[in-house]
A = this chain, B = another copy of it.
Amino acid sequence: MKAYSNTVTMKEIAQKAGVSQATVSRVLNNHPSVSPAKRQRVMEWVRKLNFEPNYSAKTLAANSSQLIGVVLPDMQNPYFTEILYHIERIATISGYSILVCNSNGDMQKEKALIRQLKARQVDGLLIGLANTRSEVLESLKRDHIKTVVITQDYEGIDCVAISHTEGGTLAAAYLLEGDVSDFAFFGQDSDDKFVGFRDHLLEQGVSPDHIHTIGNHEDWYFSTMKRGYHTLRQFIQTNELHGRLGVFTVSDMYAVAMLQACRELGLKVPEEVSIVGFDNIFLCEAVDPQLTSIAQPVEDIARLALDILFRRIEEKGEPQGHQHIILPPQIIRRGT
């Protein structure tokens, strides 16, 4: 059931060049111990026949695939596609290809994907975990898959992420500067962003009564911007506000939704409502007024995560200790 295709193999090259297959292999893998003459002869035929080594065979024989699995929790959020852009770029430069999967924030799917990826013999995994404290981590360790988690900090596994708590603190401080009297966090209250946000406000003497949570759903994560409008309207209608409202959202996608909601509700931004997003995706600069946001250094995250992963891959045996790189977030002040 062989597909029709001009599959040139090392064997053929070997015959044409009048050497053994082993020599061809050596040439292709830049082994030093090959005479220049033969090397030349082999390379000629490689070019002539347009030979390309079969990765499956290579993977099988060498037990290394030069493949990185990438699992993202939300491919509809530009934040993750921005990070994906960098991952692809860096991986390609380093001679790896990437298998991309979307877990859609579903933990079952996440686990299935990881097994799948393992079966595909990936050398390593880059994963943006969906839930905090995902049980996925267990299977990851059980299966001895070299993995770096991006986006979040977890015990017992290599991670590269920003401090979400600090991000929350930055947002709180920003809103406080702007003389905001009521504070709302759009997202889950279990989120570290909220912890940092709330704690800082509390520390600065804000009454707990003035700190609210909106859009606190299990599936808050996903980019249904429409929901922003309804959520905000409902919030405003049911809460007694004391002055300027400050909204901090888990993601820029929701911040933009808030912006639209304000427009529709006739609320002036930033005069009546101040908004701080998270991730600092390109969208922030495209809207009017431009969105203030907590920036994640996506390029650094991608680079550092891959650096660690590549090192793990080269390293033999079980990994020694874990790396936890927690980058500082940065607030980008714009018009909201």
Contact = CB atoms under 8 A, between A and B. Distances in A.
Contact of A116 (B6, B63, B97, B119): B97
A52 B139 CA distance: 14
Contacts of A176: none
A57 interface: yes
Contacts of A145: 5
B98 A143 contact: no
Contacts of A89: 102
B81 A75 contact: yes
A52 B5 contact: no
Contacts of A260: 285-286
A317 interface: yes
Interface string A256-297: 100110010000000000000000001101111000000000
Interface centre among A56, A88, A259 (most CB of B within 10 A): A56
A11 to B, nearest CB: 14
Nearest to A139: B50
A60 B63 contact: no
A4 B6 CA distance: 36
B85 A75 contact: yes
B75 A84 contact: yes
Contact of A88 (B92, B101, B225, B316): B101
Nearest to A97: B99
Interface of A: 1-6, 50, 52-57, 59-60, 62-65, 75-76, 78, 81-82, 84-85, 88-89, 92, 97-102, 115-121, 143-145, 225, 256, 259-260, 263, 282-283, 285-288, 316-318
Given A52-B119, A78-B78, 6 more contacts: A1-B62, A3-B63, A4-B144, A6-B143, A75-B81, A260-B285
Q: Which 3 residue pairs are nearest across A and B when measured between Cβ atoms?
A: A81-B81, A56-B59, A52-B119
